[in-house]
């Protein structure tokens, strides 16, 4: 089967973990895992003209992810200091005014956007007006058949109501967790329990799916046509949870692009995300016997 073309757009950076420096950024993690799941992935972002940028581009290219749309910038390559609690849950110190805050839209980006089968983005890279405008233009340049995936990924104070509303209006798939749903529900004036809020999202927006994750309590996928899937998290020994949500989103999207039923795509996503939590960092290589596609 022909490979589906997928892009992540937004931040690329170094996650500085207790175990060392690892490449990261939610859209890059997504691109990495969607590529492992049989798609052709590219990344749209920016890195600095520095050693950190050189090495980041080398590592991304070594994974087979296209770097053709990662610009070189006079701003430094992004870094995030990741601190892990005893239960493996991360907290983040995200350095500001870095290369991915200054992504420029150009004709090459417009051209690749028109070829995509799916694109994934979040809120963090929209903290700067420059990159926010580029992300919106890029999504607007995609075909009507392109699956638009908003992995909301709220971080610290780097979002606002306007950014969330704009992205929700563009999305076909919303990936949201149990800490983020109350924020979005408040913005949209949704009330009731989790089920009512998810149904409210589907009713108020042009969404095909809401993917709701609850950490160790499992995950739920609800479709606009009434599809419903709920699964518990496989029992594993957690090392850290960095990138687990991104791997979940990527695997689920890859399944949708291959036409899998949502229960099957959900089960694959659940299994891959559980494996990622057993490893250090966001981008471990997935064993072949775990890859569904």
pLDDT at 287: 82
Report if residue 287 sits inside a domain: no
CATH code of the domain in which 91 resides: 3.40.1190.20
Going by C-alpha positions, the residue among 58, 81, 136, 61 that lies closest to residue 103 is: 136
Q: How far apart are the C-alpha atoms of 284 and 17, rounded to whole Å? A: 14
The answer to whether residue 18 sits within a structural domain is: yes
pLDDT over 70 percentage in the chain = 97
Going from the C-alpha of 75 to that of each of 15, 23, 116, the distances in angstroms are 17, 18, 28
Output the CA torsion 45→43→114→139 (10° steps).
-50
Cα–Cα distance, 263 to 184 (Å, whole number): 25
Answer for the pair 201, 191: CB distance below 8 angstroms, yes or no: no
User: Tokens in use for 42?
Assistant: 């590219």
Judge whether 284 lies within some domain: no
Query: What residues form DSSP beta bridges with 231?
Result: 219
pLDDT band at 292 (very low <50, low <70, confident <90, very high): low
The answer to whether position 288 is within a domain reads no
Tokens 């950076």 sit on residue: 13
Q: Which domain holds residue 232?
A: 5-279
Number of domains in the chain: 1
Residues 270, 264: Cα–Cα separation, whole Å = 10
Query: pLDDT tens digits for 63-120?
Result: 889 999 999 999 999 998 877 766 666 677 899 999 999 999 999 999 999 999 999 9
270, part of any domain: yes
CA–centroid distance for 126 within its chain: 13
Which is higher by pLDDT, 285 or 169?
Answer: 169
Indicate whether 286 belongs to any domain.
no
Lowest mean pLDDT: which of 28-37, 108-117, 231-240? 231-240
Confidence of residue 145 (pLDDT cuts 50, 70, 90): very high
CB 184 within 8 A of CB 222: no
Is there a domain that residue 292 lies in?
no
In a domain, 291, yes or no: no
pLDDT, tens digit (0-9, with 9 covering 90-100), for 37-65 = 999 999 999 999 999 999 999 999 998 89
Q: What mean pLDDT do residues 131-146 have?
A: 98
Length of the chain equals 293
**Whether 273 contacts 248, CB under 8 Å:** yes
């Amino acid at each position: 089967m022909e490979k589906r073309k997928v892009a992540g757009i937004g931040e690329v950076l170094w996650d500085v973990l207790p175990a060392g420096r690892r490449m990261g950024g939610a859209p890059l993690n997504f691109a990495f895992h969607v590529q492992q799941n049989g798609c052709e992935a590219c990344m749209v972002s920016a890195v600095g003209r520095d050693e950190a940028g050189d090495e980041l581009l080398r590592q991304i290219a070594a994974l087979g992810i296209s770097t053709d749309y990662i610009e070189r910038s006079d701003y430094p390559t992004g870094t995030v200091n990741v601190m892990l609690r005893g239960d493996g849950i991360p907290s983040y110190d995200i350095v500001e005014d870095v290369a991915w805050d200054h992504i420029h839209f150009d004709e090459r980006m417009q051209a690749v956007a028109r070829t995509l089968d799916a694109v994934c983005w979040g809120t963090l890279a929209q903290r700067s007006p420059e990159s926010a405008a580029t992300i919106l233009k890029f999504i607007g340049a995609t075909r009507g058949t392109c699956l638009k995936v908003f992995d909301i990924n709220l971080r610290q104070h780097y979002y606002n109501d306007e950014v969330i509303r704009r992205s929700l209006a563009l999305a076909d798939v919303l990936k949201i967790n149990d800490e983020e749903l109350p924020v979005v529900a408040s913005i949209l004036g949704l009330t009731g329990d989790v089920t009512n809020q998810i149904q409210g999202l589907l009713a108020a927006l042009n969404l095909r799916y809401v993917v709701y994750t609850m950490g160790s309590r499992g995950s739920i996928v609800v479709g606009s046509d009434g599809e419903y899937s709920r699964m518990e998290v496989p029992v594993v020994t957690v090392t850290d949870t960095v990138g687990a949500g991104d791997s979940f989103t990527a695997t689920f999207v890859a399944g949708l692009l291959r036409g899998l039923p949502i229960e099957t795509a959900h089960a694959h996503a659940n299994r891959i995300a559980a494996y990622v939590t057993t490893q250090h960092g966001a981008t471990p290589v997935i064993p072949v016997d775990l890859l569904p596609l």
